[in-house]
Amino acid sequence: MVESKQKIIDDIKAYISKYGGGYRAWYVGISSDAKDRLINGHKAREKGDRWIFGTANSSQVTREIEDYFVNTLGTDGGPGGGDEAANQVYAYKKAPHTNP
């Protein structure tokens, strides 16, 4: 389900607030398949780890959201990931077993 830019931001911020650790304890990225990237790329556990994702209507919107979290709020992550199909924004709470 495609969500607005503001709804995705609000949902991720609320999730981070609920599960704590501050923004620096979280990683935010973009992908065309967020669940696969979370589980197989970053090694987040499907059960037990804290993660969330939202689907936007374009990769441009996902990049704007990623930039907001990384450069304004201070989460881990960086620009340049994903491709033109990257319409999902994800966030996970970093743990010793995640990458990073």
pLDDT in tens, 8-44: 999 999 999 999 999 999 999 999 999 999 999 999 9
Residue 41 to residues 17, 37, 48, 69, 97: CA-CA distances in angstroms?
24, 5, 17, 20, 12
Q: Spell out the long-range contacts of 77-80 with Cβ–Cβ below 8 A and sequence spacing 24 or more.
A: 77/27, 77/28, 77/29
Residue-wise pLDDT tens digits, 40-65: 999 999 999 999 999 999 999 999 99
Report pTM.
0.95
